[in-house]
Amino acid sequence: MSETYDLIVIGGGSAGLVAAGGAATLGARVALVEKRALGGDCLYTGCVPSKTLIKSARFAHEARQAQKYGFQTLEPKFSDDSFASITNRVQNVIEIIEHHDAPEVFEKMGVEVIFGSPNFLNSKEIEVALKDSGEKRVMRAKRFCISTGSRPFTPPIEGLKETGYITNEDVFHLKTLPKRLFVLGAGAIGIELGQAAPPSDKKSFTGSIMSKAVRPRG
Ligand SMILES: Cc1cc2nc3c(=O)[nH]c(=O)nc-3n(C[C@H](O)[C@H](O)[C@H](O)COP(=O)(O)OP(=O)(O)OC[C@H]3O[C@@H](n4cnc5c(N)ncnc54)[C@H](O)[C@@H]3O)c2cc1C
């Protein structure tokens, strides 16, 4: 006989953590199923790395403006002569912050945290292939909350695949600063990456070619 929860949340990013933590705090019996690590896009490929990168970019910008404040102009150099010193810092900041999204934090709220990949057996049951052991566990719930987030969308632009591109899943791991960065898409994320890009010079461009007129349907 499988266990019955009031709520099973699938996906432990910002949305899933709030849903699971909130419901458990209100007294529901909650399980959270995550296939990788708690924290999702915001912690690993979004808000946190992006703001950390912007902080380095802003520092470099201000150093170059030193004369304005009565100092000699400075040209910041990467601490180990490579952009890796910047992205290593980004990864260090993620490590410092990730304990806020640790399983224990949510377990203290009453959430049962399970790492694995779920499949629906029917409208009330899932089977989870557990990450550690590979064993299958059947779990039953009155309600499910699907909060599995999103992945970067690659627009069907001719030549893009051949040219090569990176997304927000790669950019925070770069070890070499690209000489030029052209950001496709000028929404909040594109603008943010565009302003973070030039910690060593001004060779950065932000462009938007993804207007509603060219966005593919479906
Ligand atoms: C560069 C950048 C900067 C950003 N800055 C901000 C900001 O300043 N402020 C802000 O509010 N937002 C910001 N965002 C947006 C924010 O990161 C997202 O809105 C938010 O992370 C979405 O949360 P989510 O829980 O919906 O999805 P996600 O964070 O993507 O979480 C989904 C989770 O589900 C898991 N999952 C996926 N499939 C399965 C499956 N089959 N089974 C189990 N688990 C699964 C994933 O591993 C992941 O942990 C930024 C995004 C980017 C890219």
- What CATH code is carried by the domain that includes residue 121? 3.50.50.60
Distance (Å) from CA 87 to ligand 1 centroid: 20
Report how far residue 52's alpha carbon sits from residue 150's, in angstroms, rounded to the nearest whole number: 22
> Residue 215 — very low, low, confident or very high, per pLDDT cuts 50/70/90?
very low
How far apart are alpha carbons 132 and 151 in whole angstroms? 24
The answer to whether position 162 is within a domain reads: no
Residue 100 lies in a domain: yes
For ligand 1, what atom is nearest to the CA of residue 16? Answer: 25
CA of 171 to the centre of ligand 1 (A): 16
Does pLDDT of 217 surpass 50?
Answer: no
Q: Residue 24: name the closest of 145, 148, 149 by CA.
A: 145
Is 96 within the bounds of a domain? Answer: yes
Q: Which domain holds residue 72?
A: 1-151
SS3 204: strand
Distance 167 CA to ligand 1 centre (A): 14
- Judge whether 92 lies within some domain: yes
Is 110 inside any structural domain? yes
Average pLDDT over residues 179-208: 72
Q: Is the CB of 118 under 6 A from ligand 1?
A: yes
In three-state secondary structure terms, 22 is helix
Q: Is the pLDDT of residue 119 over 90?
A: yes
| Ligand 1 pocket, residue 32 CB under 6 Å | no
Task: For residues 94-99, give the mean pLDDT.
Answer: 97
Percent of the chain at pLDDT > 90 equals: 72
Yes or no: say if 101 and 26 are a contact pair by the CB < 8 Å rule.
Answer: no
pLDDT at res. 178: 83
Q: Which residue has the higher pLDDT, 121 or 2?
A: 121
Residue 139 has pLDDT above 90, yes or no: yes
pLDDT band at 73 (very low <50, low <70, confident <90, very high): confident
Smallest Cα–Cα separation from 200: which of 218, 176, 183, 171? 176
Which residue's CA is minimally distant from atom 26 of ligand 1? 149
Asked if pLDDT for residue 183 goes beyond 90, the answer is no
Instruction: Report the alpha-carbon distance of residue 30 to residue 19 in Å, rounded.
Output: 10
Asked, for residue 158, whether it belongs to a domain, the answer is no
Q: Helix, strand, coil % (nearest 5) of the chain?
A: 35, 25, 40
Which one has a higher pLDDT value, 30 or 191? 30
* Residue 102 belongs to some domain of the structure: yes
48: which 2 tokens?
């946190």
Dihedral (C-alpha) 80, 67, 179, 172: value to the nearest 10 degrees?
60
Mean pLDDT over 41-61 rounds to: 95
Domain count, the chain: 1
Distance 10 CA to ligand 1 centre (A): 13
Smallest CA-to-CA distance from 16 within 38, 35, 36 is with 38
Average pLDDT over residues 81-95: 95
Whether ligand 1 lies within 6 angstroms of the CB of 147 is answered as: yes
pLDDT band at 201 (very low <50, low <70, confident <90, very high): low
Is the model's pLDDT at 210 over the cut of 70? no
Does residue 209 lie in a domain region? no
The best mutation among 10, 18, 47, 191 to test binding of ligand 1, ranked by most ligand atoms within 8 Å of the C-beta, falls on 47
